């Protein structure tokens, strides 16, 4: 008995921005971006492609695959740091768009771990209310949150959304096997984004340059590999499984170099790892469910396998989830 993913979905903005196009915006080059990050293109949201609109579209795909009606959804969570409004939540907009009238809905701010932590919350919800269906979404339009004059950050991020519908299964084999997450607030200043300036003069934050991403790339690099490795090995310890049991790894897609280092340390063959950062850039909370979507159809239906999701991001948040599927 446990929680299973009944269906997945994705939505990407139609506009593709290449590294070459970025050369005309900031002092960079296709060659620099490819060799330092592996990114070749990213998607950029346009009219009708706000975060909640991408999220709603991904949700509709996931509901269709799951053959679940929107009205059956009891909990709707959107992992995001780039909703078009601070209040109400992006999740409430999505609820309205898709007609999930019976749901309660909220956003989850865990940056690039937003989808993973949402999956954890959804798993626990389904296990305590086995009749319920849950919709977890990761959706971002970080193009609206980067400083387009800052070459350190604007080349990295992209927009998109991915979704998963969760439900209960009586099958003791197929389920979310375990989760292992950790946040380290002491490292908050490696990656952050201010709010709009305070309306209360006494609560003004000094040096607030606006609501865009500020990042210490090199430091993040070091912590990212270590945090993901610890999340995975901690999870193996909890579950009694090992890297040899894993058939598919879906990591947060931030950077090829970070991922290569992680794969080296884990000694996991590259063929087992879903990689799409070259097409979409870093889509933060959307990157893991976009990975699910890109991996769909790779196995015959019913093929039993173990998949692991792993992520890191601002916070400094990290985590991993093991799932048996098929």
Task: Kindly state whether residue 79 participates in binding ligand UT7, applying the rule CB under 6 A.
Answer: no
Q: Is 252 a catalytic residue?
A: yes
Q: Could you say which of 218, 267, 297, 301 contacts ligand UT7 (CB under 6 A)?
A: 218
Structure-block tokens of residue 209: 């340059």
- Interface segment toward ligand UT7; rule CB under 6 A; list 9-17, 202-210, 215-223, 292-300: 215-223
Q: Could you say which of 88, 99, 217, 234 contacts ligand UT7 (CB under 6 A)?
A: 217
Q: What's the closest the beta carbon of residue 249 comes to ligand UT7, in angstroms?
A: 17
Task: Kindly state whether residue 255 participates in binding ligand UT7, applying the rule CB under 6 A.
Answer: yes
Number of residues this chain uses to bind ligand UT7 (CB under 6 A): 18
Q: What are phi and psi of 121, to 5 degrees?
A: -60, -40
Q: Could you say which of 96, 102, 147, 152 contacts ligand UT7 (CB under 6 A)?
A: 152
Between residues 32 and 299, which has the closer beta carbon with respect to ligand UT7?
32
Beta partners for residue 163, in sequence order: 9, 137
**Distance of CA 182 to CAs 198, 227, 231, 279, 316, Å?**
30, 9, 8, 29, 8
Binding track over 14-33 against ligand UT7, x by CB under 6 A = --------------x---x-
Q: Could you say which of 151, 223, 226, 305 contacts ligand UT7 (CB under 6 A)?
A: 151
Task: Kindly state whether residue 183 participates in binding ligand UT7, applying the rule CB under 6 A.
Answer: no
**What's the per-residue H, E or C state across 233-275?**
HHHHHHHCCCHHHCCEEEECCCCHHHHHHHHHHHCCCHHHECC
Q: What are phi and psi of 310, to 5 degrees?
A: -145, 140
Task: Give the chain's length.
Answer: 326
DSSP 224: H
Q: Is 112 a catalytic residue?
A: yes
Q: What's the closest the beta carbon of residue 112 comes to ligand UT7, in angstroms?
A: 4
- Residue 287 in contact with residue 138, Cβ under 8 Å? yes
Nearest to 164 by CA among 81, 65, 279, 248: 65
Q: Is 147 a catalytic residue?
A: no
Among 154, 252, 255, 279, the active-site one is 252
Structure-block tokens of residue 2: 């446990």
Which residues are identified as catalytic? 112, 252, 282
Q: Which residues bind ligand UT7 (CB under 6 A)?
A: 28, 32, 36-37, 112, 151-152, 155, 191, 215, 217-218, 220-221, 254-255, 282, 313
């Amino acid at each position: 008995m446990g929680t299973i993913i009944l269906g997945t979905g994705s939505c990407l903005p139609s506009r593709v921005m290449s590294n070459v196009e970025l050369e005309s915006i900031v002092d960079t080059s296709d060659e620099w971006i490819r060799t330092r990050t592996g990114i070749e293109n990213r998607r950029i949201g346009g009219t009708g492609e706000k975060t909640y609109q991408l999220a709603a579209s991904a949700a509709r795909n996931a509901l269709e695959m799951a053959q679940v009606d929107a009205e059956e959804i009891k909990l709707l969570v959107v992992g995001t740091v780039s909703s078009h409004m601070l209040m109400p939540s992006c999740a409430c907009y999505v609820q309205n768009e898709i007609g999930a009238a019976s749901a309660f809905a909220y956003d989850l701010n865990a940056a690039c771990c937003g989808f993973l932590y949402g999956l954890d919350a959804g798993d626990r919800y389904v296990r305590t209310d086995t009749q319920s269906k849950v919709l977890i979404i990761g959706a971002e339009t970080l193009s609206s949150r980067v400083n387009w004059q800052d070459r350190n950050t604007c080349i990295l991020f992209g927009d998109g959304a991915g979704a998963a519908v969760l439900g209960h299964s009586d099958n003791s084999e197929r389920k979310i096997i375990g989760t292992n997450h950790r946040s380290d607030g002491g490292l908050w200043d490696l990656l952050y984004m201010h709010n709009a300036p305070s309306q209360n003069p006494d609560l003004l934050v000094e040096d607030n340059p606006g609501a865009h991403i500020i990042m210490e790339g090199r430091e993040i690099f070091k912590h990212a590999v270590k945090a993901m490795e610890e999340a995975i090995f901690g999870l193996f310890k909890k579950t009694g499984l090992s890297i040899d049991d894993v058939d598919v790894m879906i990591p947060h897609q931030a950077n090829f170099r970070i991922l290569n280092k992680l794969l080296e340390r884990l000694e996991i063959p590259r063929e087992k790892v879903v990689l799409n950062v070259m097409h979409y850039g870093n889509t933060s909370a959307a990157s893991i469910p976009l990975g699910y979507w890109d991996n769909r159809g790779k196995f015959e239906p019913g093929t039993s396998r173990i998949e692991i999701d792993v992520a890191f991001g601002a916070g400094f948040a990290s985590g991993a989830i093991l799932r048996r599927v098929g």
